[in-house]
A and B are shown apart, each in its own frame.
Chain A
């Protein structure tokens, strides 16, 4: 029973365009949502997060949107750069210290 799902295993975007990565969740008790980025042979690194009391959080080129009624969040990267090519994991938590991850979306930025 996967509570966090990323239904697109891969996404290919042209450099300079917007990348949109999507994530759906089923547990309405989740109160914190995060995106992690992972390069090959490295561990995931934290990218951006959002609390359930907000619907948008922005950090430079990265913006996360949360739609609680649809139990959906998305990560927008604009403009996309070659260094953004990585696997992106969506994660959610209920209370403290237990993150539930999706299966990741591999983003490829084409020059």
Chain B
């Protein structure tokens, strides 16, 4: 039973399209994140939500819009896709109580923009 699951795992699309990546966690955590792993392999935080409220937004273009319908879900919608959006996107969650920095990651969603 996967703790943090993302769909789809692979996504190939054309420039200019709009796409979404979904994330769900069954750990009962209060906080969820989106990270982007770019071509240089750094994992960079994009967004963080705590109980459906946005708490971190790291200078991400407004073409990226996260949506959290409830604390178990954090979806990422990307408008007008660009070549530079090609990356692996990781969803993660953590417990807000006694937070120690331990994040639980999904398997990643590899987005390729042609």
A and B: interacting chains: yes
Taking Cβ atoms with an 8 Å cutoff, the residues of A that contact B are 2, 32, 34, 41-46, 49, 89, 91, 93, 96-104
Complex: A104 Cα to B38 Cα, angstroms: 12
Q: Which residues of B contact A101 (CB under 8 A)?
A: 35, 42-44
Please count the residue pairs between chain A and chain B whose beta carbons lie under 8 angstroms apart in the complex. Answer: 57
Q: Digit string of B34-69 for contact with A (CB within 8 Å is 1, else 0)?
A: 010000111111001010000110000000000000
Q: A49 and B105: CB pair below 8 A?
A: no
Complex: A45 Cα to B106 Cα, angstroms: 9
Q: Digit string of B5-36 for contact with A (CB within 8 Å is 1, else 0)?
A: 00000000000000000000000000100010
**Among candidates B50, B99, B101, B106, residue contacting A91 with C-beta atoms closer than 8 Å:** B101
Q: A43-B90, A45-B105, A49-B100 are in contact. List 16 more A-B contacts (CB 8 A).
A: A32-B100, A32-B101, A42-B107, A43-B105, A44-B90, A44-B103, A46-B104, A89-B43, A96-B99, A97-B31, A97-B94, A98-B48, A99-B101, A101-B44, A102-B42, A103-B42
Q: Does B92 contact A (CB under 8 A)?
A: yes
Q: A49 and B92: CB pair below 8 A?
A: no
Complex: A43 Cα to B103 Cα, angstroms: 10
Q: A99 and B42: CB pair below 8 A?
A: no
Q: Which residues of B contact A97 (CB under 8 A)?
A: 31, 48, 50, 55-56, 94, 96, 99
Complex: A34 Cα to B48 Cα, angstroms: 19
Q: Which residues of A contact B43 (CB under 8 A)?
A: 44, 89, 91, 101
Complex: A12 Cα to B113 Cα, angstroms: 34
